[in-house]
Structure 1
Amino acid sequence: MPFEIGIYSFGELTPDPVSGQVISPQTRIREFIEQAEVADQAGLDVFALGEHHRSDFAISAIPVVLAAMAERTKDIRLSSAVTVLSSEDPVRVHQQFATLDLISGGRAEIIAGRGSYTESFPLFGYDLDLYSELFAEKLELLMAIREQHPLTWRGRHRAPLFDADIAPRPAQDKLPLWVAVGGTTASAARAGSLGLPLALAILGGAVSRYAPLVNLYRESARQAGHDVAALPVSINSPGFVAPTTRAARDISYPYFDRGMLENFHQRGQGFHTPRKAYDAQATLAGGLFVGSPQEIIDKILYQHELFGHQRLLMQLGFGGVPQKHMLKAIELLGTEVAPVVRREIASREASRSTSEVTK
């Protein structure tokens, strides 16, 4: 597949680091719709939204917002990032995203994960002690719904299904389903053994330490009999783009720092990110994609040498970077970064194919 570049957001409602004002959920959602329209026009491949169930986030109903985006866009794929499957009903998830797929003309995707925020468990009556068990079973059911219609299925944590008509069916043959992994070897191995694409979150640290995880994912897929070449890997990381290095860091840092303090996991458990640490993570070997277009290009290509991945999703402007800066960053990412990266990676892959043929 051609290399894809997209953006994602959790929809955080973070107090502005200067004024202290908090944007309204209505305004935030309208901004996302405008961002999706600009991203589509700029040639980006994916726009994804994360699910949260707290008052400091604007989005709990991902497919509803993505459906609004679908009516303002033509080509960009629309995805969750992530659907917290452990506390969702897979039948309803499939119905909602299949409906989105019909509205968008076959552009819907699901990135399913366990999620690092846990407020949805008590909200929907799930036992947090079953965190992993619920995800495993519900992922199995969601996969079965994609493959079989009608469906007969039985598990431990929901009523069985007998010859169930789960409708509507999507415009695509089946909904693309990715598994989100935050860095655990067990999760990467499971995604590989199931033969599902991997969405790997890299939120900081040296990116090279994640290479063994990607290798484990592919080896697990190979051992399970799956075609590894047909299983894409996505790297998902925070970042921001501006015309210069200084502008990218100066604009984004105050919002990132405030976002980590206010919105990271449960209230009151966030932390400050020192500016030196932020700048260090924005260097080539660090986990943040913050810089000029050329720096972002260099970093994607550096990581492609490590991971051989097929997609980058950037958590653009975490913490609520103002809309005027976000729209400019989206344009830069789509018009100056993406074309160069696609050409370079296509050239690399063509060279490798030629080398393999001549061996």
Structure 2
Amino acid sequence: MGVSQSRYSNESSGPRRLLDDIRSGETLNQYIERIVQPDTAYLEKCNRTVDKLVRFLHEKLTPALRRLSSHQLRNVNVKEILKSGSLGKSTAVRNKSDIDLILFLNGIETVENLRDLMPTILRCLRELLNELVRSPNYPWARSIRYKKDSKFAICCILTTTDDYGNEDEREVDLLPAVDITHSESLRRIYDKMDSTDEDSRRYYSACLSRMQREFVQNATASAKVKDLIRLVKIWAKDRQVPIRSYFVELLVIYNQRRHPAQDFEIPDHVKEILVLLSECESMRIVFTDKYNPRNYRNTMNKDQPYLLCPANPFMNTAPSPADARIVARKAREVLPIFS
């Protein structure tokens, strides 16, 4: 049955302590309520920023693309802007949530066409963001700093302000995509991905983001499951555990499928997640809801940990072998708290 709430101890010191800001005698449920769960004001602030950015892109991107010299972009327009990432999947952590927007574009027929046009689209997006922070028409957008260059997205840090002059800094990723799942079967999409090289496959990732979001949303209807995801994300960030946010979501969902009770003790499932992470170097996890992974050339064929994306048989969300050793060590350091 696992450990109960009363058997969790947060009195340990040093590396065995789960999180430094857990108060003496505080249960994990109390900590989650005090620190982890995003409050209404925070979510409203995030959503206001997202809504303003989405309206700006809807208004500006299509005309900007049509002004370019490329005849291939003259008929391109914005079909939909999808809120992805932890905000879109409702697994956001208070004060720690980035903005991921998937820009589904009409007028681009294939992912291969998207790949060829991507440099021009990204330049256009960058120019629009520069206009956003320079124009007096958008006083809520104060400044922008660009992060690493990417062939697939615009990655930046956007500083905004509210009506009271309070500034907020947030990482923003804008990912152009083609909504291929509405025009092709998954089998055909996966077969195309299987026949191309690894770099070209990465252009499909954003195109499959709607399925990724729906998978997580459907599997985390329980508020407790969302809280567990948020808690593990905070632990990973606080302890510098080299795992991705999406990996945490999928690992918690995998564990929940093994123990599908809607009502469960948070410490029980934290311990189970830590056990899985302590064995990260030998992790072999797949979801077979949409595909049979053995039909495709993916990381199942490699001598490394894997937790495959349920929407993309070629996306391994697990850490690299070197990082998996770090993950396993950090998980083993805190497991004694739950013994």
Name the TM-score class by shorter chain: under 0.3
Q: TM-score, normalised by structure 1?
A: 0.26
* Larger CA Rg, structure 1 vs 2: 2
